[in-house]
Amino acid sequence: RKIPKKLHIKTIERLRIRLHEALRGEDAQTVFDRFDTNNDGELSAHELRLLIRKSLRIPQSKISDADINKFLKVIDVDANNALTFKELADFAERGLSAFHDVATLGKNFRFLLPPNLD
């Protein structure tokens, strides 16, 4: 499985917060199903981009398509380049800790971490 080159951790957290808010206000499965246009039970990269752009209203100027593709690779547990409802809901609820041991995250993924502000 190829690891994304650089994905800013703040980008991932922004997506998590927006997903959490969107899934909290409406039936989460309904939101997922609306964007699962081929009804295969998974969101492809294209379907995920539609969800992020239309439901979450995040423009490309804020989160690029390339970052969405990298994000997909990070939380796609079975590495099939698509997200199940469980993968998306787990991420929205618990963030990256739902998928990775946070202590080893830096070793396993090449995130572009924010600078130390001390």
Instruction: Locate the domains of the chain by residue range.
Output: 9-108
Question: Over the stretch 59-107, which tens digit does the pLDDT of each residue have?
Answer: 998 888 988 988 888 888 888 999 999 888 888 888 777 665 544 444 4
9-108: what fold? Recoverin; domain 1 (1.10.238)
pLDDT reported for residue 99:
61
**96: which 2 tokens?**
């990256």
Q: How far is CA 96 from CA 38, 54, 55, 61, 65, in A?
A: 27, 23, 21, 23, 20
Between 77 and 109, residue with greater pLDDT: 77
Between 104 and 27, residue with greater pLDDT: 27
pLDDT at 20 over 70: yes
Average pLDDT score, the chain: 78
